[in-house]
Structure 1
């Protein structure tokens, strides 16, 4: 038990450091240093979060960091680890498996998140769980981990799924959580920063944008996926105003073609 708490403390510290560095850096750049320069990039220019919102988001994100750490460490306990595909010796798999496993983990996570997210929007669950996250109708980078306790456990559950379905080295899991948070912070950034050419590339048809997830926070429905547009398009849950809203923002940034 002493070992468990030691690892829990270390994982919590890693989660908090990751959150404050990534979310904090993006907040500082877009909401402080370059706020005037990125005025045209603001997705909801007439709505602004205030200090109370930021403090609420940081508080709940800090608590979520502890819970996410608990779930991750649970996967390494003597009761769980022997039944997983976790490996510690890098020689057990080719080194290229590390980046590939991270990429596959993101695909699995997107599927996991989509259906978990849909469930949390069920009327019987929304008010007691997901509503807290949706208090951020105009999200900021601090919103990334702002979850109800129950939702935080559900969010962290993806780690258990991953270690039970494919080989995962601790390094792969660490890289996965870092990349996932970076994308999560971008999704909640409140500013659209995709380049002009993104709109006409094939990637636009596949990847989410900050506008994509921001619209979900503004409308409370549609655009349930995290990284890709695939599940929303397959299930018919993509918000009908997404492309139009994205084009409006990009026209404001770059002008009419």
Structure 2
């Protein structure tokens, strides 16, 4: 995260902090006569060392220096919150425009104004999640993690191996956290808001209760404190995680795999609640007895969106809702089932 922080400091935050909390020698057109003071040199950071981007004149123009703890925490919070919005809207919108099947709107369990509700829930939750995430990023920036930059430190074999190791570690952690969130005493308080979306759109990918969303992100943050992880690999993986989270909510059932926990598996989770808790693979669901193979009808256009399949889904889903939630009154559905003449 120090790489991202360095980029933001160089191109945005140095000037931002110099503007809101200027020091004695704030460089501005209105302060041309300000006294010149000797500025201590900025130690080489990842941005200047690896990209050649040198700090601007604003780097020492604020009372809050780059290494100030308050500034670090505030900057990391802003990056996590605002950059989180950018990633969310970019990938969710791309998926919605180019991938998401718009016939999902006709499904009897699609909610009234659902996309708007998903977006609002995401926008409300993400700043709260950022509050809890920023201290973990702060610990990384301060050097308490095992993040490293020298590719030769652990050898090139580990540069490659760290990707499957990271995915396996986090897949296991998220499975158990996600399954715990379905415990009746926890579910109704934390995880129920995400299960409001029976037929989710890509915008549901981040539409969690903030404590739920943070809890499921913990394995990603814990990993670099336990095992080494290259800093650029860390950024690649975090970007991939956000893309993957959108992909498993986009309703495009292209991966009929017994191994990959794709959109079809995750649709089973939203429809039937107590199955397919995994994030990337079906391994832990198989070991934990919670795997449910996606209905084959999902993989064929002619059966995926017809009333016969919908009626089957609705009947089983409503039975499970009574068992898990007790009632379905907090959902307001958009429309009744659409008849499919082929099934008459």
User: Into which bin does the TM-score normalised by the smaller protein fall?
Assistant: 0.7 to 0.9
2:176 aligns to what?
A: 115
Shift of 1:132: 0.2
2:297 aligns to what?
A: 248
Q: Distance in 2 between matches of 1:49 and 1:135?
A: 10
Rg comparison, structure with higher value: 2
Correspondences of 1:213-224 after superposition (within 5 Å): 213-224=266-277
In angstroms, what is the RMSD of aligned CA positions?
2.8
SS at 1:218 equivalent: helix
2:74 aligns to what?
A: 5
Comparing both structures, which one devotes a greater share of its residues to helix? Answer: 1
Runs of 4+ displaced beyond 6 Å: none
The unaligned stretches of length 5 or more in structure 1 are none
Correspondences of 1:222-233 after superposition (within 5 Å): 222-233=275-286
2:138 aligns to what?
A: 77
Correspondences of 1:44-59 after superposition (within 5 Å): 46-47=107-108, 49=110, 52-59=113-120
The 1:170/1:59 distance shift into structure 2, 3 A limit, reads farther
Report which stretch shifted further, 106-115 or 153-162: 153-162
Q: Is 1:60–2:121 an aligned residue pair?
A: yes
The 1:74/1:93 distance shift into structure 2, 3 A limit, reads farther
2:191 aligns to what?
A: 130
Q: Distance in 2 between matches of 1:72 and 1:18?
A: 16
Q: Distance in 1 between matches of 2:98 and 2:144?
A: 44
1:35-88 deviation line (CA, Å, top 9, x unaligned): 4xxx5xx6x963363562212211222244334444443224359954321224
The 1:50/1:79 distance shift into structure 2, 3 A limit, reads closer
What is the TM-score of this pair, normalised by structure 1?
0.79
The unaligned stretches of length 5 or more in structure 2 are 1-69, 305-344
1:211 aligns to what?
A: 264
Q: How many positions carry a matched residue from both structures?
A: 235
Q: Distance in 2 between matches of 1:183 and 1:228?
A: 12
Q: Distance in 2 between matches of 1:99 and 1:12?
A: 30
Report which stretch shifted further, 216-225 or 184-193: 184-193
Correspondences of 1:99-114 after superposition (within 5 Å): 100-114=161-175
